[in-house]
Structure 1
Amino acid sequence: MSETIQVLFRTLVTCACPLALLFAMSGFRCTRKTAWAAFWVIALLGTAVCFTLILTVGLEQMWRVYFIVLLVPSLLFLLFATTDRPSQVLFNFFTAVNAFYLTAILSHFLLGADEEPIWAGVLFRLAFFGLIVFVFVRWLREAYRFIAANMRRDWRVMAVLPLLFFALVMFLGLYPHKREDNLMGVVFLYVILCVVYFVIYQVFHNTYNLLKATSENDALKSQVEALQRQADAVSRNDEKIRVYRHDMRFTMQVTASMLERGDVAGALKYLGESDAKLNDTSLVHYCDNAVLDALIAYYAEKAQERNITVTAHMDLGVELPADELELSTVFANAMENAIHACGKLPKDVKRRIELTAVSSPHFCIEIANTYTGEVAFDGEGFPVTKEPGHGLGTRSIAAFMKKYNAVYSYQLADEMFRFQFLINWPKKPTE
């Protein structure tokens, strides 16, 4: 009975470990709770089937169909619950299975062919595969998920790589029967596979850094352009004020002459026209912080050029709870997304963007735009899109929220898509 329990537990680890990496690599449109529930359902289902196969046809036969036992329920769930394409799901699946077969081979070398005692093999697999999942989640997932969201055409080619390696390993190691004579060949294949994945990682990482730097550069350019426009507006305004001051003496003389003649109505009308010219010299200000004020004015002008109405109620001071550049980048990305969303609306739908901000007692921001249709969200509550070239702005916002421990919310209600976040300042960001 004790040995049966150990075999059952090893079977559970055999099913749960690759699923953990597979689920970590996937981008879900459902909540984390739902994803984890599905993870355990599939893991337990796979464990039950695999354990039954071990008892009825033996361990060797189970290993031959092991990937199919996990493949069918995993694909059925992931194809409906994730934002990934089928080819990407296959890439994730065979990557996870290959990683676990590598773990099993290492266990075979270190603990012996029969992995005695069984508990030693189980602990080794848990420790080694846990390290793989930890490394992926800690250092690789952000770049991988961004590339996954933006690379649409090449996943079929990418999916072929782990699939071919898996087929070669199965052919050399388990078909037509379990073969110990090809063990070194299988190990050599995994060495090649690790090199291939390292190259893929380098491509993903460099591409991610390049796109991230490009996005930050674009945001900085927008801020510089916004400040330049604001400076130009101030310069033009100063020129108007100088002209108005020059004409002020003439205005007073004309008004005095009208009053001397008793033409009070004419004098009032003339003063009203002069006052209108004076109002034309005033600039629209959204907040006291110069960079944010210029940036919001810049995007408000861009929106109005596209027939999008912008309303703003902002009570922000000079001091901010976050780095000025980082916070303005969040505003820039959010405003770009709002303008882009409004631009896709039908012509008969009113387009508007609403900005609301307060700095006391907490720093709270809401950026809302009219929207029709449905929005898909990932497991962290961020909106996802299948449009190529979009998504980096959202990931940049996500990194900001994590750094400053911000509470955020995306929601669609009453035909308005609302992005809200709160920073409990002067709380400092996490490193």
Structure 2
Amino acid sequence: MDVYHTLLVAVTQLFLGSYVMLLIDFRKPVRLWRARWLATVTLVVCANLAGLLFLNFWNTYQRIGVLTVTLPYILTTLWCSAYRDFRAVFNLATALFVGSVGAVNSLLAHLFLGDDPYRGPWSLVVRAISFLLMFFLLRRFSFTYRQMLHQLNHRWGILCIIPLATFLAVIYTINRLDVTPAVMVLLYALLAVCACSYYLMYLFFERVQQETDARYESRLASMQLSALQSRMEAVKAAENAVRTERHDLRHRLQAVAQLVARGEQVEALDFLDAAQTRLEEHKVTRWCRPPVLDAVFASCFEQAKSQDIPVEASISLPDELPVDERELAIVVANALDNAIHANLELPVSRRCIRCRAVSTPGVMLEISNPCAGDVTFDSSGLPLARREGHGLGVQSISAFCRKNGAVCRFDLTDGWFRLQLVL
């Protein structure tokens, strides 16, 4: 029986651990924190398995397993999770709910097959099949859930209530009541209520994601239209200036000819230099070939210069980008907008924005600006907003990187804040 109990707990913990890993969002670097989580959880589970196999620990385990396994699971997950709040608790509550499903199905096998739920082979088979089926359901749920982790910052505590209450009610019922048809109806009623709540959560998450995508697409279209309109206005102004200069060219040439004829070469050269300067002032700078990105760079740089913020830019991007041009334009616009706002907190003499982009060996972008004070970073390396309602630009950049497999790094060194993005 000790061997069987050990095998039963091992199968249960193997599946529960896979559920937690399916839903958890590890801290960065992900590989390191995933390895730490695996090592710690494996050590905890192996210690319990050793007690079951060699120390006749089963009766005690049934009473205090929450303390010897569940509590270490919770603490380890909070330690390794990127979110040390109710989002991590919801992850664990979901795994506990799935464990409750397996335990209740084992009791059902005992009721109809006469199999001891903690000793008979059918208990183990039914439990394993239940866990396997729930794994595929959770895998479908996990994609939407992971998106919500970064978009929904509140109300996770409320979402934890139903699965945790279901788990505690199931454990209490199993340990305190005999297995009868009435008790099984009660248990499955509890599981059904929790399952319905998860379905409603799924629909809610889907709705939030659809609204977020719609707002994002609207912002993309709005930003694209605004940037292109601004670019067209600049081009039109330059064309008007060139047309005016062309109209006056004949008169300028006559004036220069008169100056040269009178031997006033210096004055003639100064006159030509002044005309050249006027043309340069209306020259439209093309920052890159992709039109939306070029328009965003031009619009943001003009906005910075209008606020007395010098711009040092060196941009070399390929004609074909490895990501959606509009989405990258949103990243650039957010980063430059943050840099502009950071500069406005500084005296004019200290203001500056540096922007560099290269296309080899890969597309790399760096935007830096002087910073007025310290910047606090979270466990994922993202800068925390100083005021309520700020930080949306950083979240947008982070979401872009997750979607496209890009790498972004925020840094504060020697009073300069830097964003480095590698595609």
TM-score category (smaller protein): 0.7 to 0.9
- Secondary structure of 2:368's partner? strand
Deviation at 1:226, TM superposition (A): 0.9
Check 1:250–1:342 CA distance in 2 against 1; reply closer, same or farther (3 A cut).
closer
1:228 corresponds in structure 2 to 229
Check 1:243–1:356 CA distance in 2 against 1; reply closer, same or farther (3 A cut).
same
2:403 corresponds in structure 1 to 399
- Secondary structure of 2:363's partner? strand
Deviation at 1:127, TM superposition (A): 5.0
Distance 1:108 1:18 in 2: 19
1:42 corresponds in structure 2 to 41
2:130 counterpart of 1:132:
no
Structure 1 regions of 5+ residues with no counterpart? 402-406, 423-431
Q: Indicate conservation of the 8 Å contact 2:5/2:58, yes or no.
A: no
Q: Indicate conservation of the 8 Å contact 1:376/1:383, yes or no.
A: yes
Counterparts of 1:16-415 in structure 2, within 5 Å, are 16-30=14-28, 31-49=30-48, 52=51, 59=58, 61-110=60-109, 112=113, 113-115=115-117, 121-122=123-124, 125-137=127-139, 139-175=140-176, 179-180=179-180, 181-304=182-305, 309-318=310-319, 320-322=320-322, 326-337=324-335, 339-340=337-338, 343-344=341-342, 347=346, 351-358=352-359, 362-370=361-369, 373=375, 375-376=377-378, 378=380, 383=382, 389=392, 391-401=395-405, 408=407, 410=409, 412=411, 414=413, 415=416
Check 1:251–1:398 CA distance in 2 against 1; reply closer, same or farther (3 A cut).
same
Q: Indicate conservation of the 8 Å contact 1:352/1:369, yes or no.
A: yes
- Relative contact order: is structure 1 or structure 2 higher (C-alpha 8 Å, sep ≥ 6)? 1
Distance 2:122 2:302 in 1: 66
TM-score where L is the length of structure 2? 0.82
Deviation at 1:278, TM superposition (A): 1.0
Distance 2:316 2:362 in 1: 10
Distance 1:51 1:317 in 2: 59
Deviation at 1:254, TM superposition (A): 1.6
Distance 2:60 2:178 in 1: 9
CA shift digits 1:200-253 (9 cap, x unpaired): 110011101211221122022111211111111111111111111111112112
Distance 1:159 1:116 in 2: 29
Tell me how large the CA RMSD over aligned residues is.
3.3
TM-score where L is the length of structure 1? 0.81
51-60 or 308-317, larger mean C-alpha shift: 51-60
- Secondary structure of 2:289's partner? coil
Deviation at 1:121, TM superposition (A): 4.7
In structure 1, what residue type is equivalent to 2:16?
Answer: P
Distance 1:364 1:264 in 2: 50
1:429 corresponds in structure 2 to none
1:8 corresponds in structure 2 to 6
Q: Indicate conservation of the 8 Å contact 2:375/2:412, yes or no.
A: no
Deviation at 1:310, TM superposition (A): 3.8
- Secondary structure of 2:186's partner? helix
Structure 2 regions of 5+ residues with no counterpart? none
5-14 or 106-115, larger mean C-alpha shift: 106-115
Distance 1:131 1:384 in 2: 40
Deviation at 1:124, TM superposition (A): 5.0
